[in-house]
Amino acid sequence: MNQKAKEILRTYFGYTDFRPGQEKLIHNILSGRDSLGIMPTGGGKSICYQVPSLMLPGVTLVVSPLISLMKDQVDALVSAGVSAAFINSSLSNDEIRETISGAASGKYKLLYIAPERFESAAFMQLIKEIEVSLIAIDEAHCISQWGHDFRPSYLLIKQLIQQIQPKPVIAALTATATPNVKEDILHLLDISHENVILTGFARENLHFNVVKGQDRDRFLFDYIKQNSSQAGIIYAATRKEVDRLHEQLVNSGVRAGKYHAGMSENQRKDFQEQFLFDNISVMVATSAFGMGINKSNVRYVLHYHIPRNMEAYYQEAGRAGRDGVESECILLFSPQDVHIQKFLLDQSIMEEERKESEYGKLRKMVSYCHTETCFQQFILQYFGEEDAAPCGKCGNCTDKREQVDVTREAQMVFSCIKRMNERFGKTFITKVLSGSNDQKIKSMGFNSLSTYGIMRDKTQKYINEFIDFLTADGYLVPSDGQFPVLSLTNKAFKVLLSEESVMRKEMVRAAQLVEDHELF
Ligand code: ADP
Ligand code: ZN
């Protein structure tokens, strides 16, 4: 690419090379293409607009919701020799006017703005004075109602873009890449699909695993004992569970702290500092813990309960191994917890549409627990990196069990679902397959289907788990909502046509599970 861009990177920022995603995004911006950059936190998003800002004729407006970080960013730029300023609620009207006229006269290359400013008509008028080459929209997921941090003022960005002539280039940036958030951003900002640049979500030093069918407390305590010299975080879903686990750990001599929203500010701060300085090795916490904590040598993150979605899971698990050293992320799965999360969702005050989407996300999280393919790959594909390769080190990649061919069984399930017109959920499908006497089956005439009772030699539990596996591995897709209906994917049709086979890890007997556990 552009020699000039590299030179700027070196002289102002002190780096010799761009990361792959940065290079592509900067190239796009300089070619005048509106783009969406999706990179994980720490992936280096700021460079993507800071470097072009120094190459484009006018000013780069940076929309950012994080007022507290704005000043730091501007200070850092100024000390690197880049002229920059910010406008947010901490400035007086006079100061705002002064800053804008400074930008209009070419005094600043970068101008950071809090989105709330767009609500002021006077401000929108003033901004027309500035020659704007590029609008960088940081934390772009805030524009989407599906994002975890929707801010209505972000929607006003569209007006801003329309007001400025000639039209500036748009660079939207975020670390959130779930499909519906991405689609929303593209739609609302009128960015085309080929201008999405998504990279670098893989965390190569993390070893993912899911532990099922075991006594969780026992697993947890054994694990902590075996790793007693290491720092780790235990996430639990409720304050009560955090208190309980913390108490038991302390009683058994583990140097543990705790963190949840029900504790006093001082208590929390105290434990947080002790953890940071390695006075305690284990932190038991709710999801309230972690925002802004920067401890690099966390060797493991253990989830005692299933988190509410993959975003939350990857963020929390990702607090392990910030220093690049090999670390473990283990989720202890128990089917009852899914009911707890569902119950919490039920109770929450959310619009119906939003709730449906949250159910869908929880279901994907459950699928993660049932997948038999690479866990890391599953996560990366969830975030949109479709060509991610297996990691080779997670619990599934290193699972030595033999693969068995379960194509015939899978065909039974698929053809049954098809005969039921893809209009029912897991439990009901299981009943038909197992030949249950349920009145509903008779009244719908499903007892005369050729697939009725076709799996009656298996337990309902087995069939249920088999359907979970087929869902996790993308043969079946559940609809959104609380009572999801299963339908077949293309992958399933290929199996029905005997074009592809379905392989599954051999079932293990209970005795073997214990052995695996001891080896772990
Ligand atoms: P994000 O906004 O994506 O969370 P930042 O822009 O804050 O990430 O960058 C994260 C870190 O990576 C910063 O310390 C930054 O200086 C560093 N960084 C960014 N780009 C490069 C690069 N090309 N080479 C080396 N380090 C980089
Ligand atoms: Zn793997």
Tell the residue nearest (CA) to atom 5 of ligand 1.
44
Ligand nearest to the CA of 12: 1
Mean pLDDT on 147-175: 90
The finding on whether 211 has its CB within 6 A of some atom of ligand 1 is no
Amino acid 95: pLDDT: 94
CA 508 to chain centre: 31
Contact between residue 452 and residue 478 where contact means Cβ atoms under 8 Å apart: no
Q: What is the structure's pLDDT at 509?
A: 46
Does residue 92 surpass a pLDDT of 50? yes
Confidence of residue 68 (pLDDT cuts 50, 70, 90): confident
Cα of 394 from ligand 2 centre, angstroms = 4
Q: Is 415 touching ligand 1 by the criterion CB < 6 Å? A: no
Give the model's pLDDT for residue 329.
98
42 CB under 6 A from ligand 1?
A: yes
Pocket test for ligand 1, best of 9, 15, 25 (most atoms within 8 A of CB): 15
As a whole number of angstroms, the distance between CA 320 and CA 300 comes to: 6
Is the pLDDT confidence value at 275 over 70?
Answer: yes
Tell me, in angstroms, the distance from the centre of ligand 1 to residue 137's CA.
17
**What percentage of residues in the chain have a pLDDT greater than 70?**
97
Enumerate residues 6+ apart whose C-beta is below 8 A from 261.
Answer: 239, 286, 288
Taking only the tens place, the pLDDT of each residue in 318-377 is: 999 988 899 999 999 988 888 888 888 888 888 887 788 888 889 999 999 999 999 999
pLDDT of residue 69: 81
**Two tokens at 18?**
């761009």
Residue 372 Cα to ligand 2 middle (Å): 10
Is the pLDDT at 51 greater than 60? The verdict is: yes
Closest residue (by CA) to atom 24 of ligand 1? 15
- So what's the pLDDT on residue 208? 98
Looking at the predicted structure, is the pLDDT value of residue 175 above 80?
A: yes
* Token code pair at residue 129: 């004075």
pLDDT category at 491 given cuts 50, 70, 90 is: very high
Mean pLDDT of 61-78: 90
Phi/psi for 196 (5° steps) reads -95, 125
Amino acid at 173: L
Tell me, rounded to whole angstroms, the distance of Cα 138 from its chain centroid.
17
The model's confidence at residue 512, banded by pLDDT at 50, 70 and 90, is very low
Q: Is the pLDDT of residue 404 over 60?
A: yes
pLDDT mean across residues, the chain: 91
Point out the ligand nearest to the CA of residue 371: 2
pTM of the complete model beyond 0.80:
no
Residue 1's pLDDT band, with cuts at 50, 70 and 90, is: low
- For residue 518, name the pLDDT band (cuts at 50, 70, 90): very low
pLDDT of 372 reads: 92
CA 188 to chain centre: 21
Which atom of ligand 1 is nearest to 138's Cα? 2
Which one of the ligands is nearest to 40 CA? Answer: 1
46 lines ligand 1 (CB under 6 A): yes
What is the reported pLDDT for 292?
Answer: 63
Mean pLDDT, rounded, for 99-122: 93
Quote the pLDDT of residue 508. 56
Helix (H, G, I), strand (E, B) or coil at 209: strand
DSSP of 296-332: TTEEEEEESS--SSHHHHHHHHTTS-TTSS-EEEEEE
What angle is formed at CA 75 by the lines to CA 124 and CA 163, rounded to 5 degrees? 15
pLDDT of residue 348: 85
What's the pLDDT at 300?
98
Q: Determine if ligand 1 sits within 6 Å of the CB of residue 216.
A: no
| pLDDT tens digits, 422-432 | 999 999 999 99
Cβ(451)–Cβ(432) under 8 Å?
yes
Q: Which amino acid is at 353?
A: E
* 241 pLDDT higher than 80: yes
Pocket test for ligand 1, best of 47, 72, 199 (most atoms within 8 A of CB): 47
Q: Which ligand is nearest to the CA of 322?
A: 1
Supply φ then ψ for residue 418, to 5 degrees: -65, -45
